[in-house]
Amino acid sequence: MDQPHILVVYQSMDGHTERIAERIADELRTGGAEVTITRATAATAPVDVDVVVLGDSIHAGQHSAELTEYVERNLATLNALPTALFQVCLTSAGRGPQLAIKPRPCCVAGVAREVQLC
Ligand SMILES: Cc1cc2nc3c(=O)[nH]c(=O)nc-3n(C[C@H](O)[C@H](O)[C@H](O)COP(=O)(O)O)c2cc1C
């Protein structure tokens, strides 16, 4: 079987999501995939890729405008591909009852219908 081509598109304000995206890309390469990693602001449409991984952080309860715009611009293509989303935020780092927040549809609802909204 051919090596899968995985596109990792992320947005990061202070570098945390970027580091996690780079680690994910490294792990995927170790697993045998060809990986392209890029910031949402520089990302082109997901053409000739088998899987897309999206990463974003949360600020003031919101995903970034940059990642959201990338998703909206490419929604039809993303919905036709296996697509994963990871999000980085302080609430996710906690161990308390805040993790019991009920998942709600988020701004990238077309890709991941329900995620934890911090
Ligand atoms: C101004 C500001 C607002 C934030 N708002 C939230 C928030 O609403 N919910 C949350 O869980 N974390 C919040 N955080 C924490 C960030 O999501 C967290 O620091 C994350 O690691 C940032 O990732 P990044 O450096 O890739 O942007 C906020 C951080 C900052 C600096």
Helix H or strand E segment including 17: helix 16-30
The 10s digit of each residue's pLDDT in 3-47 is: 999 999 999 999 999 999 999 999 999 999 999 999 999 999 999
Are 94 and 49 spatial neighbours (Cβ–Cβ below 8 Å)? no
The ligand 1 site (C-beta within 6 Å) comprises 12-17, 57-61, 88-91, 118
Whether the predicted pLDDT of 51 surpasses 60: yes
Query: 91: pLDDT confidence band, cut at 50, 70 and 90?
Result: confident
Report pTM: 0.85
Domain ranges of the chain: 5-100
- Residue 11: CA count within 13 A, CB half-sphere: 18
According to CATH, the superfamily of the domain at 5-100 is Flavodoxin domain (3.40.50.360)
Whether the predicted pLDDT of 107 surpasses 70: no
What token pair was written down for 80? 């036709």
Ligand 1 center–CA 25 separation, angstroms: 22
Q: Distance between CA atoms of 27 and 36, rounded to whole angstroms?
A: 13
Torsion angles phi and psi, residue 3, rounded to 5: -65, 125
**Token pair 């991984």: residue:** 53
Q: Distance between CA atoms of 20 and 26, rounded to whole angstroms?
A: 10
Q: Which of the pair, 100 or 66, is modelled with greater confidence?
A: 66
